[in-house]
Amino acid sequence: MSINTDNFDIKKLIADYMEDGMLDNIVDMFKHDRDLYAYIGELMSDERLMVRIGVSALVETLRKEDSENVSRALPSVIPLLEDQNPMLRGDAAYLLGIIGHKDAIPFLKKILQDEHAHIKTIAQEALEEIESNPIA
């Protein structure tokens, strides 16, 4: 019997686990397969609230337990700062603050000019978090 492991199925599996509250399982998956960090941005775009909340919890946990690799999520999160959906822009800024990598600073500074005040606030808080507690 062959198991289909194409990227879509893996992302769906992770999202479904998130929705079911299986954070520990997902953390273990990320620790064993660093390539999964590339899916963080897409998971943030999931329509299910529990998945989006789960991504924040996942990144917070990985920042503590896998800090040397959590910055691998940057390339998938940074583009969300330019998304049309202001909620997604704010969530991306928040995640960048959690990740805490200095490479996110110029992107966060750019969205300090966002038209939505709450996004500016989130970006400023993320910048303060990175500057006070950077991982690199």
- The identity of residue 71, as a single letter, is S
Residue 28 has pLDDT above 60, yes or no: yes
Give the pLDDT confidence score for residue 1 in this predicted structure: 36
DSSP state letter for 69: T
CATH code for position 62: 1.25.10.10
pLDDT, mean of residues 29-49: 95
Span 43-80, pLDDT tens digits: 999 999 999 999 999 999 999 999 999 999 999 999 99
In a domain? residue 52: yes
Q: Which pTM was predicted?
A: 0.89
Q: Could you give the number of structural domains in the chain?
A: 1
Give the pLDDT confidence score for residue 3 in this predicted structure: 44
Work out the mean pLDDT of the chain and round it to a whole number. Answer: 92
**Which residues have a Cβ under 8 Å from the Cβ of 120 and sit 6 or more positions away?**
111, 112, 113, 114
In a domain? residue 12: yes
